[in-house]
A and B are shown apart, each in its own frame.
Chain A
Amino acid sequence: MSVLEIKGLHVSVEGKEILKGVDLVLKTGEVHAVMGPNGTGKSTLSAAVMGHPSYTVTQGEILLDGENVLEMEVDERARAGLFLAVQYPSEIAGITNAEFMRAAINARRDDEDKMPVMQFIRKLDEKLALLDMPEEMAERYLNEGFSGGEKKRNEILQLMMIEPTFAILDEIDSGLDIDALQVVAKGVNAMRGEGFGAMIITHYQRLLNYIVPDVVHIMMGGKIALTGGPELAQRLEKEGYKGISEELGLQIEAAEG
């Protein structure tokens, strides 16, 4: 079993403190949902875990099986087992999707243990089929000219190809129609198991009908305000962030979206 521990995490962006003490423990075999109003710091949390250079950790710790993640470079974090499906993936001309994924897979392997091409292609075809993606997507340039929905699927494709220990999926549902949402959920559910843990960041409860979380966290004002089971997400759907925050006696700082 692996553990990702986030302890008392404070993060600033451009000198402004966004996260004000986040505590969260994610284990393999678990799926956690992190919900919260817009602007509360959910993406900031994901970026800080992955090591985006614009986000500065001012206090607290992130540990992966006891190892200090904050001391690792972005690529080291990824090779240690972390994966982040981002809200707005970059478009990179000239590099095919397949080439990129092979480089990512082989970056984790020793020189004498690179994944054979045939094995890679077989795996790729299988995952493409599962995600209902046409084969030519693999030969297109990385995210270039992809629609919003195609980009999201492509993030999940990478997740399935790379098979990390922990995945953070940041608003993987935004802008998806119901069919695409189901496909993306199918991909994530296929990953579920003993050796995999996920943190699903979402604004809406809808996605959680398809990927049922083990734990739900509600984040407000740069902190985890409330933690519970899947029923918490349903409650949120009925009462809204406002209702919950009033009950908790919290002030919502950012505007509700």
Chain B
Amino acid sequence: MKLNKQTTVLDDLTAFSKHKNEPDWMLQLRMQALSKIEALPLPNIERVQFDRWPLLEAEQAFQAMSADDLEGVSFQIDEKSEQAAVIQFGQHTVIEKLPESYRQQGVIFTDIFTALKDYPDLVKEAYMQLAVQPDEDCLTAFHAAFMNSGVFLYVPKDVHLTEPLEAHFFQNSRIKEPFVKHVLIYADTNSSFSYVEKFETLFHEPNTANCIIEVVAKPGAEVKFSAVDQLGENTTAYFNRRGHLMHHAHVDWALGVMNNGNVIADFDADLVEEGAHSEIKAIAISMGRQIQAIDTRVTNIGRHSIGHILQHGVVREQATLTFNGIGHILKGASGADAQQESRVLMLSDKARGDVNPILLIDEHDVTAGHAASAGRVDPEEMYYLMSRGISKEEAERLVIRGFLGSVIKAVPLKGVREELIETIERKLIE
């Protein structure tokens, strides 16, 4: 794929890395990735055409941060709350808050460049090494080369945190600037915690977003991961969230795909060792003319590993929503379990919903199953609701809320459930 870049890209990249005091291995990783982008293909996402999308816009990736960026925007957190939080706007980290008790236990929750400086070895162990590789395709390579903001979260061995850690990422689309965000979550052995992230766009400049979120879960670690994605309508985005789960690690995902622009997303759990367990729950709304295509994959490598996918989505107007559910059980993963349910509800004649369950099974002694449907709102249901005095619009909202609610109900964090419900309400009023 052709990279849209300035001729000085290599110099810019080197200068940026130096400016950030990145360790040498990081600069090497960037440069190697850069050299491979154009030779690598796009990732394969079944049934969607996105080869003409502006996903390789490298221009201005490393422009100097300017104080002007922050003019007219303000961010706040509840000072009294004991919650760990990071807020970033464009390339700026505007708020970082880590309760003292967390710090004392060795928890790290900070800007990715600070982490590269202060904890280079820890970052190096996991950054695009275990979950996502830089040379998988041109988008991972683009990411590795042009990453320009992010956070690092580390929870040490045997540390259990009760309050969720929260990251809020605002894309700065006042200017032309690719939003290349990396989140690296490193859950050390037997740790347990919840993490919530939110993506939003401020202002309306057309931009590319390339967000890779890696969760490395060491043996026995338990992570509850939640996300609400609401990038703007002029942002063309690629999301890759991937878990790398070791012995009896457990990662639960609750993902709200509520962007307003075109998006391809890859949500994966690699269950690499025995007893690893991941539950992926996703809800999505596509509206207007937008296209969102989501590959959700669980790969069972370890014996007795468990991977479950539950995803429901709603398509309005002339939008498109594609769910590809992929359950892959590798040879040797005896006793593994891969289940998936994907459903799409279409609310208009021009709405396009597509579900595509794919099971690839290379081992005998396993359990696997899938349920999938793409359909329209049942007119009898609408009639029934309306016959009680509820208007057509309200009835439709109820049906949608109900349809997505069956996934939301299964989300473990109450705050996230409420956030998802609120987001849906807001989107449906638009």
Q: How large is the interface on A (under 10, 10 to 19, 20 to 34, 35 or more residues)?
A: 20 to 34
Question: Which chain A positions have C-beta within 8 A of B368?
Answer: none
Q: Check if B380 sits within 8 Å of A94, measured CB to CB.
A: no
Q: Check if B384 sits within 8 Å of A86, measured CB to CB.
A: yes
CA distance A93 to B410 in the complex (A): 14
Question: Which of the 9-residue segments A74-82, A192-200, A239-247 touches chain B?
Answer: A74-82
Q: Is A100 an interface residue (CB 8 A)?
A: yes
Question: Which chain A positions have C-beta within 8 A of B395?
Answer: 75
Q: Is A104 an interface residue (CB 8 A)?
A: yes
CA distance A92 to B395 in the complex (A): 11
Question: Which chain B positions have C-beta within 8 A of A94?
Answer: 401-406, 409
CB neighbors of B among A81-135 (8 A): 83-84, 86, 89-90, 92-95, 99-101, 103-104, 107-108
0/1 per residue, B155-172, Cβ < 8 Å to A? 000000000000000000
Question: Which chain B positions have C-beta within 8 A of A50?
Answer: 387
CA distance A101 to B378 in the complex (A): 20
> Which of A79, A84, A95, A99 has the largest count of B CB atoms less than 10 A from its CB?
A95
Known A-B contacts A95-B401, A95-B402, A141-B402; A90 and B378 likewise in contact (beta carbons under 8 Å): yes
CA distance A94 to B421 in the complex (A): 12
CA distance A78 to B409 in the complex (A): 31
Q: Check if A53 sits within 8 Å of B399, measured CB to CB.
A: no
Q: Check if B380 sits within 8 Å of A103, measured CB to CB.
A: no
CA distance A51 to B390 in the complex (A): 14
Q: Check if A108 sits within 8 Å of B389, measured CB to CB.
A: yes
Q: Is A162 an interface residue (CB 8 A)?
A: yes
Point out the residue from B378, B389, B402, B403 that lies within 8 Å of A79, measured CB to CB: B389
CA distance A69 to B56 in the complex (A): 59
Q: Check if B385 sits within 8 Å of A100, measured CB to CB.
A: yes
CA distance A238 to B412 in the complex (A): 61
Q: Check if A93 sits within 8 Å of B402, measured CB to CB.
A: yes
CA distance A94 to B343 in the complex (A): 14
0/1 per residue, A182-197, Cβ < 8 Å to B? 0000000000000000
Question: Which chain B positions have C-beta within 8 A of A162?
Answer: 388-389
Q: Is B386 an interface residue (CB 8 A)?
A: yes
Q: Nearest-CB distance from B108 to chain A (Å)?
A: 39
Q: Check if B399 sits within 8 Å of A104, measured CB to CB.
A: no
Known A-B contacts A103-B394, A103-B398; A92 and B387 likewise in contact (beta carbons under 8 Å): no
CA distance A177 to B388 in the complex (A): 27
Q: Nearest-CB distance from B411 to chain A (Å)?
A: 14
Q: Check if B381 sits within 8 Å of A104, measured CB to CB.
A: no
Known A-B contacts A74-B383, A86-B384, A107-B394; A92 and B389 likewise in contact (beta carbons under 8 Å): no
Question: Which chain B positions have C-beta within 8 A of A44?
Answer: none
> Which B-chain residue is minimally distant from A91 (CB atoms)?
B381
> Which A-chain residue is minimally distant from B393 (CB atoms)?
A75
Question: Which chain A positions have C-beta within 8 A of B5?
Answer: none
Question: Which chain A positions have C-beta within 8 A of B403?
Answer: 93-94
Point out the residue from A84, A99, A108 that lies within 8 Å of B387, measured CB to CB: A84
> Which A-chain residue is minimally distant from B398 (CB atoms)?
A95
Q: Is A158 an interface residue (CB 8 A)?
A: yes
Q: Check if A52 sits within 8 Å of B383, measured CB to CB.
A: yes
Q: Nearest-CB distance from A146 to chain B (Å)?
A: 13
CB neighbors of B among A140-167 (8 A): 141-142, 158, 162
CA distance A83 to B404 in the complex (A): 29
Q: Check if A107 sits within 8 Å of B389, measured CB to CB.
A: yes
Q: Is A73 an interface residue (CB 8 A)?
A: yes
Q: Nearest-CB distance from A201 to chain B (Å)?
A: 15
Q: Nearest-CB distance from A101 to chain B (Å)?
A: 8
Known A-B contacts A53-B379, A103-B398; A92 and B385 likewise in contact (beta carbons under 8 Å): yes
Q: Is B105 an interface residue (CB 8 A)?
A: no
Question: Which chain B positions have C-beta within 8 A of A53?
Answer: 379, 383
Question: Which chain B positions have C-beta within 8 A of A95?
Answer: 398-399, 401-402, 405
Q: Is B63 an interface residue (CB 8 A)?
A: no
CB neighbors of A among B98-143 (8 A): none
Q: Check if A90 sits within 8 Å of B384, measured CB to CB.
A: yes
Question: Which chain B positions have C-beta within 8 A of A86?
Answer: 384, 387
CA distance A141 to B387 in the complex (A): 18
Q: Is B391 an interface residue (CB 8 A)?
A: yes
> Which A-chain residue is minimally distant from B381 (CB atoms)?
A90
Question: Which chain A positions have C-beta within 8 A of B385?
Answer: 92, 100
Q: Nearest-CB distance from B400 to chain A (Å)?
A: 9
Known A-B contacts A53-B379, A79-B389, A104-B389; A89 and B402 likewise in contact (beta carbons under 8 Å): no
0/1 per residue, B338-368, Cβ < 8 Å to A? 0000000000000000000000000000000
CA distance A66 to B389 in the complex (A): 20
Question: Which chain B positions have C-beta within 8 A of A104?
Answer: 388-390
Q: Is B174 an interface residue (CB 8 A)?
A: no
Point out the residue from B378, B388, B404 that lies within 8 Å of A78, measured CB to CB: B388
Given contacts A92-B385, A100-B398, A103-B398, 19 further A-B contacts (CB under 8 A): A52-B383, A53-B379, A74-B383, A74-B387, A75-B395, A78-B389, A83-B387, A92-B381, A92-B384, A94-B403, A94-B404, A95-B398, A95-B405, A100-B388, A104-B388, A104-B390, A141-B402, A162-B388, A162-B389
User: Which positions in A face B, CB cutoff 8 Å?
Assistant: 50-53, 73-75, 77-79, 83-84, 86, 89-90, 92-95, 99-101, 103-104, 107-108, 141-142, 158, 162
14 contacts between A and B (CB under 8 A): A73-B392, A75-B389, A83-B388, A90-B380, A90-B384, A94-B403, A94-B405, A95-B399, A100-B398, A103-B388, A103-B394, A104-B388, A104-B390, A142-B402
